[in-house]
Amino acid sequence: MKQYIQENKERFFEELFSLLRIPSVSSLEQHKPDMAACAERLVELLKEAGADEAGVYPTAGHPVVFGQKLIDPSLPTVLVYGHYDVQPVDPIELWHSDPFEPEIRDGAIYARGANDDKGQLFMHIKAFEFLVRTGALKHNVKFILEGEEEIGSPSLAAWATENKDLLAADIILVSDTTMISESVPSINCGMRGLSYVEVKVTGPNKDLHSGHYGGAVANPINVLCDMISSLIDKDGHVTVKGFYDDVVELSAEDRAKLSRAPFDLHEYKEFLDIKEVKGEAGYSTLERTGIRPCLDVNGIWGGYIGEGAKTVLPSVAHAKISMRLVPNQDSATITRLFEEHFKAIAPDYVKVEVKPHHGGDGFLIPISSPAYKAAEKAMTEVYGIEPVPSRGGGSIPILADLQRILGIDPLLMGFGLERDTIHSPNESYLLKQLFAGMESIVLFYKYY
């Protein structure tokens, strides 16, 4: 594969850039045509790579792309999952180059989606192309590429249920996560779930002059701050009633195993430029993101947020709040518990609304499975070092759904690095990782 990459590098860049140039932001209505264009472009790339059939399939939301090459029903089938939608780009002013005009700088591609997940799914298309063109393909290969991962995959579960036979496979292969570091390759064997809500706190029925009413009428921003502040106690526990009921405590042995993953707290703090970390008492930083649930405010707004000063006592305040869940916590249940709790703690002088956004459950992948073993062997060969099993903090809620609907385990071979700052300005993807990923995937097919 190394040589194939060398010979085809420029074409690879052109093809990947053609995907990255399409602003397929799934959360913004205005990008609907871009979603369709991106799906069509993927169909072309799949066909060019060697898929016998590939097409765009409508769903209730953004379309899915499905493509496949079936060579022999007696051979194992690999279902590649990826997503072609990307996160919004704001704050746009912090980007050093146009998020939708990819640039190679310092050995990395800079663009929204360079890593998440256009860059990573592209590795699978090229690994597949290599296997097809060199006659080395010994698996049936299917691709399911969705356009709604960044908004919680609201349509794919239903589509997968209706097209269960089409998606039948032995393993779901996914590259949409990170490795621990460049020098510590890792394979993700568990991910957190997600519950995401938007809350609205209404005080008076109109914006008021803060001089005339300040001190006498509850300010919804102050109240929202009080309420948010009460959601996490001084030990870092989430106070939502029933929040921890279904959390399975890991055994001391399991915690010891996970703590083998190398981690340098000093480097971590330096990378983020923070003096101290903060989290649940009694757990390490890796445990806090790996095996423990948490609650974060992802956005807050209310009152006057323009330049200068305005003495307003606003009518409403809003926040987007998400909870990361661990396996066995049910996303829908947590969303309901949050809603009940948030309404229960709302004081008399405000009205509150809670609107659920997307969510999803966490899941675990057995380290002893043949697929995990094949990935381990492949990455050991490419990186010259055995990958560590890790528990990722992020969520790909749809994978737990697909696991349940199709009865197939996912395998997460992610090649992203923290430095890629996905979801943030200046998202990037190291060329080194892009190519190592392609090689690892080709070898995965060899050993699986």
Residues from 346 through 375 that contact its own copies (CB under 8 A): 347-350, 357-358
Q: By CB under 8 A, is residue 278 in contact with its own copies?
A: yes
Q: How far is the CB of 292 from its own copies (least distance, A)?
A: 6
- Position 125, amino acid: I
Q: By CB under 8 A, is residue 165 in contact with its own copies?
A: no
Q: By CB under 8 A, is residue 55 in contact with its own copies?
A: no
- How buried is 422 (Cβ within 10 angstroms: 0-12 exposed, 13-18 middle, 19+ buried)? buried
Q: How far is the CB of 62 from its own copies (least distance, A)?
A: 12
Rounded Cα–Cα distance for residues 11 and 364 (Å): 37
Q: By CB under 8 A, is residue 288 in contact with its own copies?
A: yes
Rounded Cα–Cα distance for residues 422 and 444 (Å): 25
Rounded Cα–Cα distance for residues 123 and 438 (Å): 5
Q: By CB under 8 A, is residue 157 in contact with its own copies?
A: no
Q: Which of residues 237-256 bind its own copies (CB under 8 A)?
A: none
Which tokens go with 187? 């394979």
Nearer to its own copies, 15 or 116 (CB): 116
Q: Which of residues 299-338 bind its own copies (CB under 8 A)?
A: 299-314, 317-320, 322, 324
Which tokens go with 199? 């809350």
Q: By CB under 8 A, is residue 105 in contact with its own copies?
A: no
Q: How far is the CB of 3 from its own copies (least distance, A)?
A: 34
Instruction: Note the residue count of the chain.
Output: 448
Nearest to 59 by CA among 157, 173, 169: 157
Q: DSSP secondary-structure letter at 40?
A: H
Nearer to its own copies, 28 or 388 (CB): 28
Rounded Cα–Cα distance for residues 96 and 102 (Å): 11
- How buried is 273 (Cβ within 10 angstroms: 0-12 exposed, 13-18 middle, 19+ buried)? exposed
Rounded Cα–Cα distance for residues 401 and 333 (Å): 15
* Region from 135-143, 145-153, 246-254, 403-411 binding its own copies, contact rule CB under 8 A: 145-153
Q: By CB under 8 A, is residue 143 in contact with its own copies?
A: no
* Region from 52-60, 100-108, 131-139, 387-395 binding its own copies, contact rule CB under 8 A: 387-395
* Region from 104-112, 146-154, 167-175, 404-412 binding its own copies, contact rule CB under 8 A: 146-154
Q: Which of residues 411-430 bind its own copies (CB under 8 A)?
A: 418, 421-425
